[in-house]
Structure 1
């Protein structure tokens, strides 16, 4: 099993696209995977926390740009700007709230693993993701309450997020305390499990989406366009925030663009309306498709610098 999981890592970007396509092409498979969504989210968050490098965390805490500025931009500035833009575009309140909730989520727990798949630095997204997850139970409910329209109280949403993230953090703490050498020796295995969980999650998010697309193609198209526009805009913004080479810029772009929408989606539960669920599902497409395009971009850049 271990070699099989390890082989998933370099094929990760392609597999993630495949997961989305499988979920759309085989609705029964997506319906079968749908109940696994909370478990896969928990597993992805747990895997991310298990990959924490204490030295990297300490080093990041000594850099205000990583420990304060970047998490603040990710968790506060980006949702506010996107939310204001959504209202300026006269989006329906329901869709505008869905966009805000998606962008208020912390960076995708698989971003560090995806960065490593692409040959980028996985330490920075890992640290920023962990710090952002700590902020999530506070910032997500506050932003949701400010923009309004949720059928769940801010306190209940905060409690659900705290339980989901705190539970994973507690288990990760126990593993790291009692099995640190094993984790250090099998970090690639953890990445493989994260990729496998991301694949199952990608399939699960497509449950019912085909029917919604068939019922209202215009709404589905709008959600898809918004999802790609937000992700690309955030990645482009991230790429210009940090001075450095292409790999460093793309890493920050991934942090801003790829959000753990599934975490917020799972915490909302039945409070997520069908239209919100449609948008949340649409956000998975750029999350899983764009890394494949970035992989191509990196490959071309490497070929240019070869003597």
Structure 2
């Protein structure tokens, strides 16, 4: 099993893209996997916390641009900017709220693993993701309440997020306390488990989406274009936010663009309207497909550098 998981990691970007497409092409499979969505979110968050390295955390915390500025940009500045732009453009209220909720989510828990798959630095996205998850139970409900339109109170949303994140943190603490040497030696296995959970989550998010697309092609197309537009804009902004090499800037772009929408989606539960769920599902396409395109860009950049 260990060797099978290890083989998944280099193929990660391709597998993630195929996961979304598989769920869309095989709706019966997506419906079958759909009940596993909360479990996959828990496993992804837990795996991320298990991959935290104490030295990397300390090194990152010593850099205010990464430990203070970047989490603030990720969790506050980005959703505020996207929300203001959405309202300025006159987006329908459900879609305007959906993009705020999606962008207010912490970075995708698989971002660090994806960064490592792409040959980028996984330490920075890992630490920023953990810091952002700590902020999420406070910032997400406040931002959602400020923009308005939710059928769930800010307090209940905060409690649900705290439960989801806190339970994973509790299990991670126990595992790290009692099995730290094993975890340190099997880090790549944890990455393999994260990739597997990400693929299952990608398939699960497509449950019912094919029927929604058939029922309202215009809304589905709009959601897809909006999701790609938000993700690409945030990744481009992230790539220009901090100075550094191309790999460093691409890493920041991944942090800003790829969000753990499933965490917020799971916390909302049935209070997420069908249109909001459609947008949340649409966000998975750029999250899972763009890393494959980044892989091509990084490969070309490496070939030019070695030429």
Interval of TM-score (by shorter of Structure 1 and Structure 2): over 0.9
Q: 1:137 and 1:171 mapped to 2: Cα distance?
A: 18
Distance (Å, rounded) in 2 between the aligned partners of 1:101 and 1:297: 30
Supply the RMSD in Å over aligned alpha carbons: 0.5
CA distance in 1, matches of 2:218, 2:87: 19
Aligned to 2:222: 222
Give the C-alpha shift of residue 58 in structure 1: 1.2
Within the alignment, does 1:238 sit opposite 2:242 as a pair?
no
Q: Distance in 2 between matches of 1:302 and 1:4?
A: 28
**Correspondences of 1:277-296 after superposition (within 5 Å):** 277-296=277-296
Runs of at least 5 residues in structure 1 that lack an aligned partner in the other structure: none
Cα deviation code 1:150-177 (max 9, x no counterpart):
0000000000000000000000001111
Q: Tell me the equivalent position of 1:39.
A: 39
CA drift at 1:60: 1.4
Runs of 4 or more above 4 Å deviation: none
Q: 1:268-283 residue pairs with structure 2 within 5 A?
A: 268-283=268-283
- Count of aligned residue pairs for this structure pair: 307
Structure-1 separation of matches of 2:248 and 2:38:
32
How many Å apart are 1:101 and its aligned residue? 0.1
> Which 5+ residue runs of structure 2 have no aligned equivalent?
none
1:98-121 Cα shifts (integer Å, max 9, x gaps):
000000000000000000000000
Alignment-derived partner of residue 300 in structure 2: 300
Query: Is 2:126 aligned against 1:126?
Result: yes
Other-structure match for 1:181: 181
Is 1:145 the counterpart of 2:182? The answer is: no
For the pair 1:29 / 2:16, whether they are aligned, the reply is no
After superposition, the C-alpha distances for 1:21-70 in whole angstroms (9 at most, x for unaligned) are: 11011100000010000000000000000000011111111111111100
> TM-score, length-normalised on structure 1?
0.99
Partner residue in 1 for 2:52: 52
TM-score by length of 2: 0.99
SS of aligned partner of 2:69: helix
SS at 1:179's partner residue?
Answer: helix
Give the CA deviation at 1:290.
0.2
| Shift in Å, 1:305 | 0.8
Aligned twin of 2:3? 3
- What is the alpha-carbon distance in structure 2 between the residues aligned to residue 282 and residue 258 of structure 1? 12
- SS across alignment from 2:160: helix
Aligned pairs (5 A) from 1:255-266 = 255-266=255-266
**Match in the other structure for 1:72:** 72
* Whole-Å separation in 1 of the counterparts to 2:231 and 2:22: 22
SS in 2 for 1:43: helix
Q: How far 1:135 sits from its partner (Å)?
A: 0.1
